[in-house]
Amino acid sequence: MKIRKAVFPVAGFGTRMLPATKAIPKEMITLIDKPLIQYAVEEAVNSGIEQMIFITGRTKKALEDHFDINVELGLELEKSGKLELLEDMRRISEMVDVTYVRQKKMLGLGNAILCARDIVRDEPFAVILPDDIILSEKPVTAQLIDEYAKVKKPVVSLMRVKPEDSYKYGIVEVKETVDDRFYRLGSMVEKPRENPPSDLAIIGRYIITPEVMDALENVTPGAGGEIQLTDALKHVAKYNDVYGYGFTGKRFDCGTKAGLLEATVNFAAANPELREELKSIVADLGF
What CATH number is attached to the domain comprising 153? 3.90.550.10
The DSSP H or E segment spanning 62 is helix 61-66
Q: Which residues contact 270 (CB under 8 A, 6 or more apart)?
A: 135
Judge contact between 7 and 116, C-beta under 8 A. Answer: yes
Q: State residue 224's pLDDT score.
A: 67
Q: State residue 96's pLDDT score.
A: 76
Measured over all CA atoms, what is the biggest interatomic distance in the chain, rounded to whole angstroms?
A: 63
- Under DSSP, is residue 276 helix (H, G, I), strand (E, B) or coil? helix
State the pTM of this model: 0.92
Q: State residue 223's pLDDT score.
A: 64
What is the DSSP code (8-state) at residue 21? Answer: G
Residue 254 sits at the vertex; the CA angle it makes with 252 and 260, to the nearest 5 degrees, is 90
Q: Is 20 exposed, middle or buried (0-12, 13-18, 19+ CB in 10 A)?
A: middle
Q: Smallest Cα–Cα separation from 89: which of 78, 103, 99?
A: 78
Q: State residue 216's pLDDT score.
A: 92
Residues with pLDDT less than 70, the chain: 86, 222-224
Domain that holds residue 229: 5-285
* Centroid of chain to Cα 124: 16
Rounded Cα distance between 10 and 16, Å, is: 14
Q: State residue 15's pLDDT score.
A: 83
Phi and psi, residue 31, nearest 5°: -115, 110
Rounded Cα distance between 212 and 230, Å, is: 10
Q: State residue 222's pLDDT score.
A: 67
Q: State residue 20's pLDDT score.
A: 84
The DSSP H or E segment spanning 207 is strand 200-208
Backbone Cα Rg of the chain? 19
- Under DSSP, is residue 230 helix (H, G, I), strand (E, B) or coil? helix
Looking at the structure of the chain, the number of domains it has is 1
